[in-house]
Structure 1
Amino acid sequence: MRGWWREISGLVLPVDCGGCGTPRTPLCEVCASALYGTAARRARPVPEPAGLPVVHAAAPYGDAVRAVLLAHKERGALGLARPLGVALAGAVRAGLPRAARAAAGPLLLVPVPSARHAVRARGHDAARRIALAAAGELRRTGTEARALPVLRQWRAVADQSGLTAPERLANLAGALEVAAGGGRLLESGRAVLVDDLMTTGASLVEAARALRVAAGPRFPGPVSAAVVAVPPISFEMNRN
């Protein structure tokens, strides 16, 4: 019921900009420019954990970008999924020049899953929704892509907020798995892990491990990743 009401209310009620509150627009031009007005770049957390895929990010996490992500994830502003998907698609494209040379088949956007209790509390799966929007944007601009939500948490994990980087890695170690039959689906294209935000990189490290375990030696090439935003230090210090 909660998810249904959010879907309907987003269509019939007046909305304000998710970034700055400008009335009668889900995303104003200024906040849209902050979200996807610049080229996506390589991102590395400090310190960078072992096993982290090559990550590209659309924008630094701050001000308008932070507000838009929180409005979508925590406040149910579902209309923001499309602009967030556009930003994520830009980050996916930024990782393509190197990855595409060995790629075969479509891009498979694999969202990093949230804990089940978080999805229930929010009424929607934010990363999955953005992955679907990004896949649609990539197809619209000529890149074969589809969302492939095959990852899931098979055991409970602690809330990551307040944990140090090593604690986050330990908390998530071995927590994700690929759903039955997912390994075979991963063989059909080039997997790109996607998420809305990267902080320490622990979630992407664990997600990459789970993909490699599921597909084994048949896995088609290295895992890459794309996210909407990262802390500014991860984004600005590694321009390329």
Structure 2
Amino acid sequence: MLPAECGGCGSPRTVLCPRCRTALGAAGPFRVRPVPRPPGLPAVHAAARYADEVRAVLLAHKERGALALARPLGSALAGAVRAGLGEAGVGEGEAPRPPTGVLLVPVPSARAAVRARGHDPARRIALAAAGELRRAGVPARVAAVLRQRRAVADQSGLDARGRLDNLVGALTVVPGGVRVLRGGPVVLVDDVVTTGASLAEAARAVRAATAAERAVRGESGGSGERAEDVVGASGGVGVTAVYAGFCREGRKESSGAEEEGVGEVREPPSGGACGAGDVLCAAVVAASPDSPGINRN
């Protein structure tokens, strides 16, 4: 009902003008190496630099509710996902086709932030990216299996060390989420990477949960339960774990049951396996050029 304007430059009568759409992927996906590198950070690929039109588009989607921007942002993220999978040796060429489905695991936002914005930006972009990947022949789905186990401070005023200290131990895998993570290569996804602290903590949570689950299965000698797809629906019961496609987000957040106890584990090298035959890497829409210690090589 209201006149549309470009989320990047403000041009009238369009949600995203051709010039700003091009800016989202003009440079092509590139590897991001934060310095200092957070312990356990997997290989990270970004689609664009977090500046100018790209920054404006991400902020319009994230803070001003321009939800129509999720699709072009998801398309950019899909390119970064393909680059990460290709570097990890999953498939060949620009559109790798792994033998099993790719799992996009979004870094969760704080519940208060989700309530204030009315949506979870990273999860919405991940849903769009999964749809883009499927249209390109890459089986992909979103596995929203991470949640915050404790409150964290606002990261905007923290340096690299402060962000790492603020987030350590903050994330956990929801009960039943490990079954889903056994379904294929895991790609952690977010909208922006600054110091890499959020992605490193997400990787730690995934590795800890899968290592604990493998230990339990080894002790019992069982083969484990079959991974199930739990399709998100408004008013659904239990933990929303996997979204089968680009669907409307519910305003409620699943809280899950009590946290599963997981002990400290030694984290494998960057890009190492997080499960039997699974790859763990990360992809983001943009990497901040003003981040402390970001190296573009």
Aligned to 1:232: 289
Where do residues 73-112 of structure 1 align in structure 2 (5 Å cutoff)? 73-101=62-90, 104-112=99-107
1:137-148 alignment to 2 at 5 Å?
137-148=132-143
**Counterparts of 2:99 and 2:164 in 1: how far apart (Å)?**
31
Counterpart CA distance in 2 for 1:238 and 1:117 is: 33
1:231 is displaced (CA, Å) by 1.6
Q: Does 1:62 pair with 2:51?
A: yes
- 1:55 Cα shift? 0.2
Q: Which residue of 1 aligns with 2:31?
A: 42
| 176 and 139 in structure 1: CA distance in 2 versus 1, 3 angstrom threshold | same
Cα distance change, pair 237–176 in 1 and its aligned pair in 2 (3 A): closer
Task: Kindly state the Cα deviation for residue 154 of structure 1 after the two structures are TM-superposed.
Answer: 1.1
For these two proteins, the number of residue pairs brought into alignment is 228
Show structure 1 runs of 4+ deviating over 2 A.
98-104, 232-239
Q: Paired residue for 2:122? A: 127
* Matched residue, 1:188: 183
CA contact (8 A) 1:40 1:59 kept: yes
Say if 2:260 is the partner of 1:203: no
Partner secondary structure for residue 9 of structure 2: coil
Task: Give the conservation status (yes or no) of the 8 Å contact 1:104–1:190.
Answer: no
Deviations 1:136-166 (A, max 9, x none): 0000011010011110001111111101111
Task: Give yes or no for contact 1:198–1:227 (8 Å, CA) kept in 2.
Answer: yes
Which residue matches 1:162? 157
The 1-side partners of 2:166 and 2:289 are apart by 24
* Residue of structure 2 equivalent to 1:219: 275
Secondary structure (helix, strand or coil) at the match of 1:42 reads: strand
Write the deviation string for residues 190-237 of structure 1: whole angstroms up to 9, x where unpaired: 110000000010000000000011111471444200000002267995
SS of 1:22's equivalent? coil
SS in structure 2 opposite 1:44?
strand
The 3-state SS of whatever aligns with 1:223 is strand
Is 2:1 the partner of 1:17? no
Distance 1:207 1:164 in 2: 19
From the two aligned structures, give the one with the greater helix fraction: 1
1:113-145 CA deviation, whole Å, 9 max, x = no partner?
011000001010000000000000000011010
Distance 1:236 1:212 in 2: 25
Cα RMSD, aligned residues only: 1.8
CA distance in 2, matches of 1:99, 1:189: 13
The residue type paired with residue 151 of structure 1 is L
1:30 to 19, 40, 64: 19
Q: 1:120 to 1:227 in 2, by over 3 A?
A: same
Larger radius of gyration: 2
With normalisation by structure 1, the TM-score equals 0.90
In 1, the alpha carbon distance for the partners of 2:13 and 2:294 equals 32
Q: Is the alpha carbon distance of 1:101 and 1:84 closer, same or farther for their aligned partners in structure 2, counting shifts above 3 Å?
A: closer
- State the alpha-carbon separation in 1 of the partners of residues 206 and 9 from structure 2: 38
Moved more, 102-111 or 28-37: 102-111
CA contact (8 A) 1:40 1:94 kept: yes
Letter in 2 for 1:149: A
